[in-house]
Amino acid sequence: MKAFKLALIFFTRIPISTESFDIELLAKHFYLVVLVGYIFGILGLFISLLFSFLPPILLATLIIFLVEYLNGFQHLDGLLDVGDALMACKSKEEKIKILKDTRLGTGAFIYGFFYLAFSIFSLSYILKINIFYILIVEVLSRLSLLTTAVFGAPMKESSAKLFIKKSDIKHLTLGLILTFPLLFLANGRIVAILILSSIIIGIFVSYLGKKEFGGINGDVLGFSNQVGRAFLYLLLTFIYSFKLTNLL
């Protein structure tokens, strides 16, 4: 319970008081990031029901904004920083400098634009099908983040080094177990595909981090979360718009 409380403090803006922040304890239970995804998903569900009278595109925009706000825009910041660095045709050392630069360049705006466009437009379509996909995607985007931590190696200087070092296959297994309830919220086969996809995304981002930066840090973990969300919404849109549900 204490570890989950620490996870909420670290990953959300929820005002929770604590005498001391035990980062070692949180790192030992880093798989709880998947459970935190349920909090974001429940928020998204609540907003979709409360403002169901809004046009789908406006409702989707509101959901994405409030989910990002609850996170303190941490993961979005990671996406923008990594986007900037990936656009630079430079050495690993120079890319790491760009990654840590507080200024935003063209890469950040390009990645940010496409992330928001893909997420919002896809979500506006999915809202008409099953609103529980909001919860499913929020949980599984955290599974992508966890997978990146499990398969990635930390950069030499990384604020997330402890989380990455402590994350292992046991953490991923526990994270997967936490996703099992999702199978009963929508088409089980589609949810299984989404779970597998989120793991593949996490592995890919860990490889990308090693290739481009020599390892991963907190920004790369945030990048994995955002890419996971956008890709899963896009995948759902593809499955339903092309009526592939008949094959599943």
Inter-residue contact 201 to 146 (CB < 8 Å): no
Per residue in 75-130, pLDDT (tens digit) is 999 999 999 999 987 888 899 898 888 888 899 999 999 999 999 999 999 999 99
Rg (CA), the chain: 17
**Could you tell me which residues come within 8 angstroms of residue 221 by beta carbon, excluding any fewer than 6 positions away?**
75, 78, 145, 148, 149, 160, 163, 164
More confident residue, 88 or 235: 235
Map tokens 């035990």 to a residue. 22
* Residue among 68, 55, 79, 94 at smallest CA distance from 11: 68
pLDDT at position 125, please?
Answer: 98
Looking from the CA of 189 toward its CB, the CA atoms found within 13 Å total 6
Average pLDDT over residues 20-29: 91
From the CB of residue 106, how many other CB atoms can be counted at a distance below 10 Å? 11
Sorting pLDDT into bands at 50, 70 and 90, what band is 209? Answer: very high
Average pLDDT over residues 49-77: 98
Q: Would the pLDDT of 19 be above 80?
A: no
Six-digit token pair at 12? 């959300």
Q: Would the pLDDT of 165 be above 80?
A: yes
**Could you tell me which residues come within 8 angstroms of residue 206 by beta carbon, excluding any fewer than 6 positions away?**
147, 148, 149, 150, 151, 152, 216, 224
pLDDT at position 102, please?
Answer: 83
List, in sequence order, every residue forming a beta bridge with 154; answer none if it has no partner: 216
pLDDT at position 121, please?
Answer: 98
**Could you tell me which residues come within 8 angstroms of residue 214 by beta carbon, excluding any fewer than 6 positions away?**
92, 96, 155, 156
Inter-residue contact 135 to 182 (CB < 8 Å): yes
Q: Of 33-47, 73-87, 150-164, which gets the smallest average pLDDT?
A: 150-164
* Residue among 81, 77, 111 at smallest CA distance from 99: 81
Name residue 118's amino acid: F
Sorting pLDDT into bands at 50, 70 and 90, what band is 177? Answer: very high
Number of domains within the chain: 1
Q: Would the pLDDT of 170 be above 80?
A: yes
Give the range of the structural domain holding residue 61, as residue numbers without chain letter.
2-247
Q: State percent of the chain over pLDDT 90.
A: 85
More confident residue, 158 or 137: 137
Alpha carbons 14 and 26: distance in angstroms, whole number:
17
Mean pLDDT of the chain: 95
